[in-house]
Structure 1
Amino acid sequence: MVAKEFLDSDRVNFLVWRFLLEGNYRETAAKFQKEWHVKQPHREFAFARHVKSHALVSVINRGLQYHALEREHARKLLPPNASAEAAEALKFGIFGPLDANPQGRIEEEEEEDAEGEEVFEEEVSRKRPQQQLSNGSPVKRQRLSNGLENGAEAPASVSVPASAPMTTSAAGTGAVAGTAPTATAAPAPVTTPMEIDNQPDNHAYPSPLEGEQAPEPMVRTDGPEQGTQVDKVEELAPETTFIRLVDDQAEGQGRGNTPSPASPSGPDNAPILLQCEWNPRDPSILAAAGTDALARVWTVARAGPVEPGQDHVSPQGHSLLDRDVPRDTTVTALSWTADGAAIAVATDSRNQASINVWSAEGAHLQSMEVSEPPIIKLSWNPNNTALLAISPDKGGALVTVHYPPAGNSLSFLLPGHDIAATPLDAVWTGDAEFLLCGGDLMMCLQCTDTTIIAGRKFESKEDDSFTQVLFDGRSRLAATSSDKGTLDLWDENGQRRSISAHQGAITTMQWQPIPEDQIGADDERLIATGGDDCAILIWNARMPESKPKCFLTMDSPIMRLAFTPDGAFIAGATSTQVLIWKVGSHAVPRASWSRPVHPGWLSPKANTESDEEDEHCLCWDADGQKLAYGSNSRLAIINFRR
C-alpha cells in the first residue's frame, strides 16, 4: 500500500508562508504569520527543514500532472458513441478550458471588469508604491507563466506529432504519449516569465513525466562591462579544484616533539577549516586556518577541470607555524593587512595563546604573547599600523591593540563579559578608533598614546543580541546584525534605524564594495544580509524604511555571502550549494555550484546518520575570478568566468 504523507493545517500554512516569502510578499507573509500565531515556523516544526524551495508550486504541479493523467484515462474509457457533452468535459482542467489563451481572455474581459479593477488598483496603490517606467507609466505586475515570450522563441502554432497530446494543462503538462492523432497545438500564450521558478515549461522542478528537458530561457543582464549580455545559469562544478588541507611535508617530518591527543578531524584525518581569506591584492594567494595546526598560504593558479581520479590539488604553499608546534594546535583567527604585505595568525596551543605576523612570502616577522586563549578576533586598522585582538581574561573580555614592529600594546578590559557565551565583534572606523559590540553592548573605543578609552556608548535595548558589526567608510554608517533577524544601521551621532530583515537569525552580512575610482550614488548604499530563513536580501542603507532592492532565495539556510571586490556579483552559500547573481539582475542566478558527495564535507561532530555541519567559509579573490568555499574538512576553489 502506498503511504500518503500526513496533511494538516500547519503543513498547508507552512507551504503558503514559504511561497509568500519566496515571492517577496514579505508584508503579507508577516500578517499571515501573525494570524497563524506561530512566531518562527521554520524553527517550530520538525518537518520544516525537509521542505525545499518552491514546494507549494511543486506540489501543485504534481497535482496537475495527476489530474492530467486522470483526464487521459477517462478519455480512453469513453465509448465511441459517447455524447458530445462527455467529450467536451474532458477539455476542461482545474483552471478552465485547456486550449484557452490566457492573455486573449484577460484582454477581452478587461472592459467588463474595468470598474472592479479600478477599485482594486486604488486599494493596492495605497499599500505599495507604483513602479515607474522611464516615461512615467506604471509597470504592470508580472503574471506567472511558462517562462517564454511569444515570438521567435515561441511560435504561435506548432505542428504536433501523432503521439503527442493536443493540449496542455495549466501547469504545462499534458496527456501522456500515445494519444490519438491531432492536427495542431493550441496557440502559445503570450505571457511574461514565471517569477517563482524560472523554468521554461512552467514547472518549479522538472516533471518526472518529462523525457528530454527544454532549453533554459536566456536572461539578459547588465554584465560587468558596458553593453548587454545574454547568459544562462552556468554550472561551475567542472571548473572546481580542491585544496588538500593536510600539510604532507610536516606530517612526514613528524610535527611536534610530543604526542598529541587523537585528532577530531574528518574521515581523511584532515583539519577542520575555520577561516580562509584571499590576499586582498594578489589574486593567487589564499590563506587558511583551522584545527590540527592548519595555518597555510597557497599559491593558487586559475582553477581548471578536475582530472579523473583526483579530488584535490597540491599547489605551492608554505606553513605559517613553526615546525615544533604540536599537532593539536588550533589556529583561531587570521587577518591580512590591507596591502596584502603581511598576515597575522592567532594560535591556541595547550592553553597558551599567541599572535604571529608573517610576510606574504612566508617570512616570520614578529610574535606576541596573549594571556588567555582563545583569540576570537584579529583585525588590522586601515593604515596597517595597529592590530586589534579580542580574547578572554580572568572571567572577562580583553580587547588588545598591538603595534608591531614597535612591540608595545594597549588594552581595555570588560569585567564579567563571557565571550564564550556572548562573543564580541569589532570593526575599525579610523586608524585609532573602533566599534565593539556583542549581546546588548554597542560602544565606541579610542586609542590614545597610553591607553584605550571608552567613547560613546550607544543606546541599546534589553533584548538586543548583536552578533556582528560592520562599518562603511563612504556613508559613515555602522551596521549590526542580531540572532533575532534585525539589521540595525547607526550614524555617527548614534541614531539607530532598525530593519526587520529576516525570520530568524542573520547569519552573515556584507557592505557592497565600491572601487575607489568610482563615485557611488548619493542616495544609495547597499548592504546584503543572509539568514536562517534561506533568503539573501540587499538593502539600501540610505533608505532603510524601503523594501529590499533584491530578494534571493536558496534551498536551505544561508551560511555565508560574499560580494566580488568590485561589487558587481554576489555569491551565497548554503551547506550544499553556491549560487552567484549579478547585482541588480536577480531573476536567475548567473552561475551555480553544488558540492560533490564526499565525507570530508560532513561535520566531525555529527554521527554517521546526520549531515549536520559547523564551519563554513566563502570569499572572492582580488579579481573576482575565483571563489573559495570551505566546509569542515574540505576547501574548494570555484572558477568563475564573467
Structure 2
Amino acid sequence: MAETLSSNVVNYLVWRYLQEAGFGNAALQLSRCWIRDPDTLPFAKNTEPHTLIRLLQDGMCFDQLQAEACNTELRYRFGADHGRPYSVRNGALLTLDKGIPAHELAAEANGAVQEPLPKKGVKRKKAKPTNGVEPRPEPEVNGDAMDIDQNGTTHVTNSVRAESEAMASEAESGTVTELPISTLSIGQDAEIQTEVVADLTPDTVFIPRPKDFDSVLIHTSWGPSESPVLLAAGKSLLQVHLVEKELNGEMVSPIRTVDIPLSINNFEITALCWHSRGEMTVSAREQCFNEVGEKMMKDKLVKLIDGGTNSQVISSQAGLVNTLRWNAEKELLLSISTDGEKGSIKVWKNASDAIPAWTEFTDTAIFDALWISESAFVVCGIELFKIYEVNDALTTQRTLDTQITWETLRYDSSSGIVAALGMEGQTSYLGILHPNDSINLQTHVYPDQYLTDLDFRVKTAPNALTNGSSVPSVLLATSSMSGAARIWDANEPFKCVKKLPTTDDTQAFKVAFSPDGLLLAAAGPDAVTVWDVERREVPIAAWRAKDWASDKWNPGIDGEFSLGWHPDGSKLSIALGNQIAIIPVPR
C-alpha cells in the first residue's frame, strides 16, 4: 500500500524546494506559520535533495503512462511556455526576495528563527576578473562541504537553511568572502527540470527518399560556409540538397535536390572530401563486366567541379578508398585504402594528378587519417597509430606503441591535441596524444558502455561552465550507447568536466559541436539532444523519432547513421538508411 503523505511531509518538501530553488524568504515565512525548525522532524534526515521535484516528475510520467494505457487524455498539461524561470539578481545566481540573510530577516520581524551555523569553509582569495567580468562565487551550504563528482555535478550533503547571498553593496564591492549562500546557479542541478526544453520535432523537414530502389545512402556531408549545401552519397546515389535558410514544414519546396551526374555507372561512393566552394573529390567503386560476363570492380577517384554539374575521373590507381582528406595549404590529397589485410597510404600533389606522388603501406588495416599540419598526418587502425611527414619524401615521423584498434580520429588545431576512439575486445578506449608528451599515446578505459563518437570544440573565448568553473581551453565531447554524453578537458587527460544524459536516455551514435562551439548535439536513431554547454546541463532542445510516423522516420531500419551541423549552426541533419531529416535549431 502506498504511503499517505501528511501535511508535515508536504510542508517540509515545499520548504526544502523553496530553499533549494533560492526562495529563502518564502521558506522563512512558511516556517514561521508552521514549525520553527523543520529539520527537526523525524523523517527530515531521510529526505534527499530535490525530492519534491522528483515526486512531481514521477507523477507526470505516471500520468502519461496511464493516458497511453487507457487511451485517455493527459490530466496535467502545462504547455510549452512556462514563463521566465527565475528573476536574476547580482549576476547569474538565484537570490532570495530581498537579498538579505534569513536570520537578519527574522531579527527584523522579531521572529524566532535559529541562528545560522558557523562557517567551516576555507576562505577564498579575491579572484582576478576574466575579460573584465567578475567571476561569480561558488554556492555554499551552511559552511558544510558539498560532494562534487567527476562530472562536475554538485550534490548538497546537508539540508539548506534560509540564507542568502551577499547584499548588493557587498557584491558590488568586489570582495569575495564566506557568504551564507543557499542558492543554486541556474541550471546547476540537471534533475530540476525548471527550464523549458524546446521540442524540435514539429519543425522538422524530411528530404524525399531516392526514387531509385537500388540507391542506398551511406554518407552525408555539409559543404563549407561558402557552399552550405548537404551532399548525400552512397550506392547509386550522389545528390546535392539545397536547403532554404528559413525552414518551414508548410513550405511547398524548402529543399531542392540536384542529382550529380557521374561518368561511371553502377557505382558506390566509398569516401569523399570537400576542397573549396563547388569542388570536391569522391572515391567511386564501379561494378562492371568483362567480355566473358565476369563481374569486376574498378575503384576510381572522381573530381566534381562547377558545383557538381561536371565530373571527371582523375585516377584508377587509388584502390578501395575508405578515407579522403584534403590539405588546403599545400593542395595535397591524402587517400587511405585497404588492400587485403594491409593498409595503403597515397598522397597526391593535387586533386588532378592521375598518379600519386607518394605511396606507403602498413602491416595492418587503416581505419582513419587526418592532416595535423601543412606536411604531417596521423593514421590509425588495427594496433596502429602513426604520424607521417610529407616533404621531398613520405617518411614516418613517429610510431606509437599500442595494442588497441583505433577507429576514429579527431584533431584540435589550436592545441595540437589528437583524440582517438578505440576498441579492444568489448572494451572502449579514449586516447589522447598531447604535444607536451608527443611520444606516448595516453589511453583511458571509457567509463560508459561502448564509446561511439567524439568531437573537439572550436577555440572560443574563455567563459564559464554551469558549475562556475572556467571553461577548459580544449573541450572534447564523446557519446556512447549508454545514453549519456561526456565533456572532457583534453588538456588534462582524462578529466571529465560533465556527464550529460541524453533525451529519454537514448543511445547516441554521433556527437558534434556547432560551428561556433556554443551548442553540442548528440544523436541516435531515436532522439537528438542539444545542450548549451555554457549555461546548464539540462538540454535546451530535444527531438524524438516516436513523434513521427514510420513513413517519415523509422529508427529501426538498418543503415549508416550520420549527424551534421549546417555551417551557420541554424540546422542539424540526421540520416539513417535512405532517410534524411533537417531539424532547425533556434538560436
TM over 0.5: yes
Distance 2:300 2:220 in 1: 19
Q: Does 2:149 align with 1:205?
A: no
CA apart distance, 1:409: 1.8
User: Is contact 1:196-1:204 (8 Å) kept?
Assistant: no
Match of 1:563 among 505, 513, 521: 513
Contact 1:299 1:316 in 2 (8 A): yes
Which of these residues, 457, 461, 471, is aligned with residue 512 of structure 1? 457
Pairs within 5 Å for 1:539-554: 539-554=488-503
Q: CA, structure 1 residues 372+239, in 2 after alignment: closer, same or farther (shift >3 Å)?
A: same
* Residues in 2 aligned to 1:485 and 1:146: alpha-carbon distance in whole angstroms: 42
Residue 241 of structure 1 deviates from its aligned partner by: 1.0
Flag structure 2 segments of 5+ consecutive residues without an equivalent. 31-46, 67-73, 93-131, 134-185, 188-193, 288-296, 464-469
Distance in 2 of aligned mates of 1:242 and 1:154:
50
What is the match of residue 4 of structure 1? none
Q: Secondary structure at the match of 1:238?
A: helix
Whether the aligned pair in 1 keeps the contact of 2:500 and 2:537 (CA below 8 Å) is: no
AA at the equivalent of 2:217: L
Residue 346 of structure 1, CA deviation:
1.4
Alignment of 1:250-261 (within 5 A): none
- Whether 2:10 is the aligned partner of 1:67: answer no
In structure 2, distance between residues paired with 1:279 and 1:415: 31
Deviation at 1:238, TM superposition (A): 1.9
Q: What percent of counterpart residues are identical? A: 20
**Residue in structure 2 matched with residue 99 of structure 1 by the alignment:** 10
Give TM-score scaled by structure 2 length: 0.65
**CA drift at 1:497:** 2.9
2:186 equivalent to 1:239: no
Confirm or deny: 8 A CA contact 1:380 1:387 kept in the other structure.
yes
Match of 2:486 among 512, 515, 537: 537
Alignment of 1:46-65 (within 5 A): none
Match for residue 288 of structure 1? Answer: 232
CA-based RMSD: 3.9
8 Å Cα contact 2:333-2:351 kept in structure 1: no
The letter of the residue matching 2:279 is A
Partner of 1:277: 221
Structure 1 contact 556–574 (Cα < 8 Å) conserved: yes
Q: In structure 2, what is the Cα distance between the partners aligned to 1:195 and 1:473?
A: 46
Aligned partner of 1:325: which letter? I
Kept in 2: contact 1:148–1:192 (CA 8 A): no
Secondary structure of 1:361's counterpart equals: helix
Using the alignment, how far apart are the partners of 2:558 and 2:311 within structure 1? 35
**CA distance in 2 between partners of 1:568 and 1:399 (Å):** 36
In 2: Cα distance, 1:386 partner to 1:499 partner: 33
Q: Quick one: which amino acid aligns to residue 454 of structure 1?
A: T
Q: Distance in 2 between matches of 1:195 and 1:356?
A: 62
Is the 2:13–2:51 contact (alpha carbons within 8 Å) kept by the matching residues of 1? no
- Is residue 433 of structure 2 the alignment partner of residue 490 of structure 1? yes
- Output the amino acid matched with 1:307: E
CA drift at 1:316:
3.2
Distance 1:374 1:389 in 2: 10
- Alignment map for 1:209-608 (pairs within 5 Å): 211-214=75-78, 232-246=196-210, 269=213, 271-282=215-226, 284-291=228-235, 293-307=236-250, 313=253, 315-322=255-262, 325-326=264-265, 328-337=266-275, 339-350=276-287, 351-359=297-305, 361-364=307-310, 366-371=312-317, 373-383=319-329, 385-393=331-339, 395-405=341-351, 407=353, 408-414=355-361, 416-417=363-364, 419=365, 423-449=366-392, 451-460=393-402, 462=403, 464-483=404-423, 484-492=427-435, 493-514=438-459, 518=461, 524-554=473-503, 555-595=505-545, 596-599=548-551, 601-602=553-554
Q: CA deviation at 1:546?
A: 2.8
- Which structure dedicates a bigger proportion of its chain to strand? 2
Tell me by how many angstroms 1:424 deviates. Answer: 1.4
**CA shift for structure 1 position 616:** 0.7
Q: Which amino acid aligns with 1:455?
A: Q
Give me the whole-angstrom Cα distance separating, in 1, the residues matched to 2:382 and 2:14: 54
Offset, 1:543: 1.7
Return closer, same or farther for 1:153/1:354 CA change in 2, 3 Å cut-off: farther
Shift in CA distance, 315/203, structure 1 to aligned 2, threshold 3 Å: same
For 1:622 and 1:384, how far apart are their aligned partners in 2? 24
> How many Å separate the matches in 2 of 1:504 and 1:452?
38
Distance of 1:488 and 1:286 partners within structure 2: 31
Alpha carbons of 1:459 and 1:581: their partners in 2 closer, same or farther (altered >3 Å)?
same
* Shift in alpha-carbon separation, 1:498–1:219, aligned structure 2, 3 A: farther
User: What amino acid sits opposite 1:504 in the alignment?
Assistant: Q
* Contact 2:281–2:351, Cα closer than 8 Å, also in 1: no
Return the letter of the residue paired with 1:99. V
Other structure's SS at 2:401 match: coil
Distance 2:306 2:19 in 1: 53
Summarize the Cα distance change of 1:414–1:378 in structure 2 as closer, same or farther, 3 Å threshold: same
Rounded to whole Å, the distance in 2 between the matches of 1:375 and 1:430 is 22
SS in 2 for 1:487: strand
In 2, the alpha carbon distance for the partners of 1:362 and 1:452 equals 32
Q: Is the 8 A contact 1:219 1:588 kept in 2?
A: no
1:546 corresponds to which letter in structure 2? K
Instruction: Report the count of equivalent residues.
Output: 436
Q: Distance in 2 between matches of 1:215 and 1:511?
A: 36
Q: Which residue of 1 aligns with 2:290?
A: none
Letter in 1 for 2:198: E
- Whether the 8 Å CA contact 1:477–1:491 is kept in 2: the answer is yes
Cα distance in structure 2, aligned partners of 1:91 and 1:536 = 37
Q: For 1:627, which of 563, 572, 578 is the aligned residue?
A: 572
